[in-house]
Structure 1
């Protein structure tokens, strides 16, 4: 299909991932324990947390869409879903968001 030379269109720059986030993330350095249904728990290194999710490093990362339960200090196991995997870096979304004051407390505790 031929394109007219006088066709006008605008290309919007892509929104950087950090700007597109639903919640501010806090840098942390902590170990956490994750568990997938029917499997043994495994330890990971958390590197950020927010009200809506967290990111971690794992030597053998789970697949996108995997449902996990994370054990964060002082909280019961929290259900989450793997939303992003990039090498050994993984991003998860909590099934139900954390309260902002809980997230703030965890961020301070896990630095």
Structure 2
């Protein structure tokens, strides 16, 4: 399991994250729905997506210790762990990686 990192005050993390990234990300700009176990669903913006995870911009504070559940258009709800946060950007890792064909299908539907 990857450790959770708070990059709130570290603007240099983007380069380090890109170097450590295990999978190529697809840039998107889509509205998705997010919730945690003790919250109601709310909308936020998905900014990138890969088979292993995603980045979202979320103005609501989320609990690092709890899973996040995202709902993408025309797809079941997916669970993920929060791995890092920088201001309103959250980097998350899926509990079960996406199949590459599923990723391509999702990205095509979001564009």
**When the two structures are superposed, what TM-score results if normalisation uses the length of structure 1?**
0.80
- Residue number in structure 1 paired with 2:99: 99
- Residue number in structure 2 paired with 1:41: 41
Query: How many pairs were matched up?
Result: 97
Distance in 1 separating the partners of 2:24 and 2:78: 19
Unaligned runs of 5+ residues in structure 2 are 1-14
**Cα displacement string for residues 42-92 of structure 1 (whole angstroms, at most 9, x for unaligned residues):** 111000000011111011231333311110122111111111110000011
Q: Which has the higher helix share?
A: 2
Structure (1 or 2) with the larger CA radius of gyration: 1
Unaligned runs of 5+ residues in structure 1 are 1-14
- Residue number in structure 1 paired with 2:54: 54
**When the two structures are superposed, what TM-score results if normalisation uses the length of structure 2?**
0.80
Pick 1 or 2: higher relative contact order, CA cutoff 8 A, min separation 6.
2
- Residue 19 of structure 1: how far off its partner (Å): 2.3
RMSD: 1.4
